[in-house]
Amino acid sequence: MPRLYVVATPIGNLDDLTPRMRWALESASLIAAEDTRVTQKLLTVMGISRPLISNHQHNEEARAPRIIERMIAENIDVAVTCDAGTPGISDPGMELVSAAWQAGIEVIPVSGPSAVITTLSAAGFDAREFAFYGFLPRENGDLRKKLHAIAHGPRVAVAYESPHRIVNLVEQIAREIPGARVCVCCDLTKKFEKIERGLAGTVLERLKANPNVEKGEYCVAIELPEIEEEAPAAQMSPRHMVMDALLEGMSMRDAVKCATQQGASRQDAYAASLEIKRWLESQLEE
């Protein structure tokens, strides 16, 4: 019975190649690659010669069944790779793996680098539970909706972002999720790897000061602000939530958002902010 090897490849540093990756690629009669040019360079470095066939996001749905048919007809093993990292994790590979299972073909994962896991390992966030979102929406309106969903999901989230949008992403995080921390990783494992970690607003200023910020590949981990156990949201009034946020240095607008993230309705949080504003104004008049 043919076998399908799902082979992870280095995300930037060739020293991350493993003997098991070599074994899998040498065992395959054919390699289904996201970009045959990229995989050919890797094979050349490893001294391996194997025929390649493209398997990318634009052709995988149609190509996967044909590759499976060929594997069965010729009784050959195939390896699937992406340009960097693990196939099927926001990269091509899922359709081919799914088709292999449906055809009764043995699937053999060959573990290796993943930008998602590498980012989490560098972040120091509590990632016992996290969500991965791939690339986030480009338009700010859609991005804000996605960040709202992230704010109500697991405490840690991971996403990819392009270098031209990374500053805007962190700016939106600082605005939409007050108190969130981020770990922004650029060119992981490469020569000019750079990692920034801290409150989103603080990291934003560092990114803006970096003249090379629009170069490289980014992976971002987001950690939602912690809710104090001794004062659960259900036992706090919207006024208390807003006031606590103000005392932490947030603006009134961000304090209202923070209160809604803790369970208060937007209407109640806004009403509480107006009440606090009136109280502050009365204190100034005195």
243 confidence band (pLDDT: 50, 70, 90)? confident
Task: For residue 92, give the 3-state DSSP assignment.
Answer: coil
pLDDT at 229: 53
240 lies in a domain? yes
- 69 and 107 in a single domain? The answer is yes
Cα–Cα distance, 89 to 110 (Å, whole number): 14
Q: Is residue 246 part of a domain?
A: yes
The amino acid present at 98, given as its one-letter code, is S
286: which residues sit within 8 A by CB, 6+ positions away?
none
pLDDT value of position 226: 82
Stretch 140-155: mean pLDDT: 95
Across 25-44, average pLDDT = 98
Model pLDDT for residues 74-113, shown as the tens digit of each residue = 999 999 999 999 999 989 999 999 999 999 999 999 999 9
Q: Are residues 20 and 42 in the same domain?
A: yes
Mean pLDDT of the chain: 93
180 lies in a domain? Answer: yes
Among residues 85, 113, 141, which one ends one of the domains? 113
**Shared-domain flag, residues 99 and 175:** no
Q: Residue 139 sits in a domain of what CATH number?
A: 3.30.950.10
> Do residues 217 and 265 share a domain?
no
Tell me how far apart the terminal alpha carbons of the chain are, to the nearest angstrom.
86
* Residue 234 pLDDT > 60: no
Of the listed ranges 17-31, 219-233, 241-255, the one predicted with least confidence? 219-233
How many domains are there within the chain?
A: 3
28 and 107 belong to one structural domain: yes
* Of 54, 4, 45, nearest in space to 22 by CA: 45
pLDDT over 90 percentage in the chain: 78
On whether both 15 and 63 belong to a single domain, the answer is yes
Judgement on whether residues 209 and 262 belong to the same structural domain of the protein: no
Q: With contact defined as beta carbons under 8 Å apart, do 97 and 4 qualify? A: yes
Structural domain harbouring 38: 3-113
Residues whose CB is less than 8 angstroms from the CB of residue 41 and which lie 6 or more positions away in sequence, other chains included: none
Lowest mean pLDDT among 164-168, 232-236, 255-259: 232-236
**52 & 72 share domain:** yes
Q: Are 223 and 128 in contact (CB under 8 A)?
A: no
- The model carries a pTM of 0.77
Sign of CA dihedral 113, 114, 119, 125: negative
Lowest-confidence region among 9-13, 126-130, 257-261, 275-279: 275-279
Encoded tokens for 267 = 């209407």
Domain membership flag for residue 33: yes
State which H helix or E strand residue 134 sits in: strand 130-135
User: For residue 197, what are the β-bridge partners?
Assistant: 183
User: Each residue of 180-200: pLDDT tens digit?
Assistant: 999 999 999 999 999 999 999
Is residue 34 domain-shared with residue 69, that is, in the same domain? yes
pLDDT digits (tens, 9 = 90+) for 51-74: 999 999 999 999 999 999 999 999
pLDDT over threshold 80, residue 17: yes
pLDDT at residue 231 above 50? no
What whole-number distance in Å separates Cα of residue 271 and Cα of residue 286? 23
**Both tokens assigned to 194:** 């750079």
Q: Within a domain: residue 263? A: yes
Task: Establish if 228 belongs to a structural domain.
Answer: no
pLDDT band of residue 235 (cuts 50, 70, 90) is low
Name the one residue in this structure whose structure tokens are 């993230």: 261
pLDDT band per the 50, 70, 90 thresholds, residue 283: low
As a whole number of angstroms, the distance between CA 23 and CA 42 comes to 14
Question: 103 and 120: one domain?
Answer: no
CATH of the domain at 70: 3.40.1010.10
Strand order in the sheet with 106-110: 52-54, 30-33, 78-81, 3-7, 106-110
Is 147 a residue whose pLDDT tops 80?
yes
Q: Based on the fold, state whether residues 216 and 122 are members of the same structural domain.
A: yes
Statement to judge: residues 105 and 122 lie in one domain: no
